[in-house]
Structure 1
Amino acid sequence: MTDTPGPLFAVVFSLALLGFIVTVAFLSRNRSPNFTFHSARSAESPNSLDDPHRVEPGMNEEKFWELIAHAWGAGATELRHKLLIPEEAEQAADRLLEMSDFMVMSLQESLALLSQEDLASFDEILEHKLYDIDREDVHEYVDGSDDGFLYSRGFIVAAGKDVFDAVDADPSVWVVEAELEPICYISAEVYEEVYGERLVHNTGISRESGSNKAGWS
């Protein structure tokens, strides 16, 4: 007859197995890839050096355009430049619109890391850029209803400094129909979400279509 393990052996085996399971669970939890990362960042500022969305404090136009370019990623640089090449502009705009969800999300993440003052400054610069091209000569080539014209101007700003400056100087270079509504209010919405209050500027201008009275006859 084959010997069977006694009760004492069963108890010892169960305790050993339980200890092994507890040890593995403890080690797995502490080896989680996010464990050390979050602990390290908690003691640092949001703009820590290892953060890909880090921006030096102090917002200005140069940093404004850098944030927008960074949100697209390096892969979109050539596409954005092609917006100014008539025979390639439409295809480039379509491709950029396909990428726009990622761009908006990336920019939101960067904006959420800004100080309250810098985030407000970013939105003020954005409002000025939208206001500057709220003009009849721009509308002639961009077209669209009040909202559509605003969202089209949002795409032009999102396309970056080179495209914006080109359209601002000579609106006839714009040959595509493309809108990007989220950009028009992105920093104001992030501000309200992060700081719990509505962002109000006392600049006397507005991003809404038709606000730039000097630009309309």
Structure 2
Amino acid sequence: MDFDLKAALILTFGQTMQMVISSLLAAIIIGGSIGLLLFLTSNTLFLKNRAINQIVGVIINITRSIPFLILLVLMIPVSKAIVHTSIGPNAVVIPLAVAAIAFFGRLSEASFSDVDNGVLEAAIASGASKLSIVLKILLPEALPSLIKNITVTAVSLIGFSAMAGTVGGGGIGDLAIRYGYQRYEPEVMFICVIVLVLLVQIFQVIGDSSAKKLDKTSK
């Protein structure tokens, strides 16, 4: 092995975390807002609007239907225009964020839809404003499910970030491809896989424990 594996792992781990956390934040903020919009425009208790719901839904569905590797290639000009490069973790964050937003948008819509309509109807009957119901009832009630879906999104993003290594996106996937596969060093590939598995487990444990804690608090 003709390179410093420890230094390479530290560098690529940092790149992977940069990609995952940045795109996950975009998913939570933008994707969550889109999911809320989809729920509100489909529910007669709030802002039912079939046209807006269908337009936003079609855009989300089209984005989700594009395989991530193809999305990476399609968005190279966009990444270059925004971050002035088409390779590396900074460039990959753009398609990662787009994929994550569409993915979490649908998951968050499902989380909001799972909230008992009876609770919302009771709040409306009591004279509470729709904004107050969304902020004080809908979001807290949906939070445990949202946390679980954030965890699912984070785990998916770890896998997507590893795929980005095939097009020079950096991160642990890039290390596995360039050294583990192209230079025929299976031990590097094995170590990269172990790191990715551990990373997934850490996110899963944190997400599951947070959702469970919130469920107990709400009961």
TM-score > 0.5 by shorter chain:
no
Relative to the length of structure 2, the TM-score reads: 0.30
Where relative contact order (Cα < 8 A, 6+ residues apart) is larger, the structure is 2
Instruction: From the two aligned structures, give the one with the greater helix fraction.
Output: 2
